[in-house]
């Protein structure tokens, strides 16, 4: 190489080194200019928090688990609040393992007719695309969904026997990246842990993607990956349920059954709710752990099964203690 060629090569190398330093500095500056912790990201990315910033939240997931009968899953979830700030959501989950395939749709609705919310679930469909039996759950309180589903983030959080080690965020392709190691304490496999990567929009703190690598030791004591989960988050896409189970249930022109639900009979909070479902559907009630259902108004004959029964044929009345009202028998004189 002649003198000029050598000088050109050295200049190019110096330029590349300078660009690399500037890029590293840029990445470092982004993380420094946007100080946020993993705990902040968890708090900012619950479904309820995301719905304060977006009209619709869409989550798609693909996962495989070789230790669970070769299970492979694909799922799409959408969440939104309607014009009255009532929650709505739906999910389509497809799965396959050594026993076969499964196709399950579910939907949560809240409306004037079901002010406290209703969940519907159906598996499989016929050749025309119509779903099979639709099972229905009616909720005791309107805040059930907000308390049980909306607060949950798609991130691993500390608590309930879960340990989390989160590193400092760094910038990659214009995103903030958090790398996390989590472990279930006291589980069936003491060697199992998860390596996780979360990508966050630095301008909004919105979660953009999540990847989880499930690891443990095999029979030879080698550390292996036995499963992965990949989540992608999208915001403000149209809310379009793949199967509108609620509309299908209402339009079902087959035989139907009706139940009158008397919530908290004999209290100031007593109210009635009428629900009609297809004859083939199972109907459940859900609320606090203290929820109890009875055949009679005196509430002496308690249900021993989780689903509502129709002993008299096409209609019945069920009396329910929601668990939100103090039991008068427990009050002190």
Sorted by where each starts, the structural domains of the chain and their CATH numbers stand as 39-156+169-178+194-235 (2.50.20), 254-326 (2.40.240)
Predicted pLDDT at 333: 41
pLDDT at 128: 59
pLDDT at residue number 213:
95
Number of neighbouring beta carbons within 10 Å of residue 171: 20
- How far is the C-alpha of 289 from the C-alpha of 239, rounded, in Å? 32
Q: At 204, give phi and psi (nearest 5°).
A: -125, -15
Beta-carbon contacts of residue 171 (< 8 Å; ≥ 6 apart): 26, 27, 28, 30, 31, 177, 202
Please report the pLDDT score of residue 144 as a whole number: 63
Which pair of structure tokens corresponds to residue 166? 């989160």
User: Quick one: DSSP state of residue 138?
Assistant: E
Residue 10 to residue 324: CA distance in whole angstroms:
76
- What pLDDT is recorded for position 294? 95
Distance CA 252, CA 276 (A): 11
Q: What does the alpha-carbon distance between residue 227 and residue 225 come to, in Å, rounded to a whole number?
A: 6
Scored b (16 or more CB within 10 A) or e, 53-70 reads: ebebbbbbbebbbeeeee
Tokens of 312: 């008299």
Give the pLDDT of the chain (333 residues) as one tens digit per residue.
544 444 444 444 444 444 554 444 444 556 666 678 999 999 999 898 999 999 999 999 999 999 888 899 999 999 999 999 888 999 999 999 988 888 899 999 988 888 888 999 998 765 555 667 899 999 887 666 666 565 566 778 877 688 999 999 999 999 999 999 999 887 788 899 999 999 999 999 999 999 999 999 999 999 999 999 999 999 999 999 998 999 988 888 889 999 999 999 999 989 999 999 998 899 999 887 788 999 999 999 999 988 998 877 788 999 999 876 655 444 444
Radius of gyration in angstroms for the set of CA atoms belonging to the chain, rounded to a whole number: 26
What is the Cα–Cα distance from 36 to 62, expressed in whole angstroms? Answer: 28
* Per-residue confidence (pLDDT) for residue 114, from 0 to 100: 85
Provide the whole-model pTM. 0.82
DSSP string, 254-270: S-EEEEEEEETTTSTT-
């Amino acid at each position: 190489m002649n003198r000029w060629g050598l000088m050109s090569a050295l200049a190019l190398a110096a330029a590349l080194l300078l660009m690399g330093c500037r890029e590293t500095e840029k990445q470092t500056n982004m993380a420094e200019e946007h100080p946020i912790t993993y705990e902040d990201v968890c708090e900012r990315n619950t479904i309820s928090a995301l719905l304060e910033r977006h009209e619709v939240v869409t989550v798609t997931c693909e996962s495989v688990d070789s230790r669970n009968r070769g299970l492979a899953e694909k799922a799409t979830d959408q969440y939104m609040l309607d014009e009255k700030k009532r929650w709505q959501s739906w999910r389509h989950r497809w799965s396959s393992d050594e026993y076969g395939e499964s196709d399950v749709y579910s939907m949560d609705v809240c409306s004037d007719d079901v002010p406290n919310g209703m969940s519907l679930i159906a598996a499989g469909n016929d050749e025309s695309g119509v779903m099979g039996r639709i099972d229905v759950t009616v909720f005791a309180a309107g805040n059930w969904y907000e308390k049980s589903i909306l607060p949950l983030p798609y991130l691993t959080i500390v608590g309930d026997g879960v340990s989390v080690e989160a590193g400092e965020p760094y910038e990659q392709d214009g995103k903030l990246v958090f790398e996390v190691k989590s472990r279930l304490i006291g589980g069936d496999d003491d060697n199992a842990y998860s390596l996780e990567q979360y990508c966050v929009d630095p301008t909004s703190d919105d979660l953009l993607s999540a990847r989880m690598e499930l690891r443990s030791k095999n029979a030879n004591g080698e550390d292996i990956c036995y499963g992965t989960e990949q989540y992608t988050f999208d915001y403000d896409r149209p809310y379009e349920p793949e199967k509108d189970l609620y509309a299908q249930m209402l339009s079902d022109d087959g035989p139907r059954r009706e139940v009158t639900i008397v919530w908290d009979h004999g209290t100031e909070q007593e109210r009635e709710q009428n629900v009609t479902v297809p004859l083939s559907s199972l109907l459940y009630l859900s609320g606090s752990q203290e929820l109890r259902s009875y055949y009679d108004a005196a509430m002496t004959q308690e249900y021993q099964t989780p689903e509502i029964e129709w002993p008299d044929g096409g209609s019945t009345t069920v009396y329910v203690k929601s668990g939100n009202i103090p039991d008068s028998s427990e009050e002190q004189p």
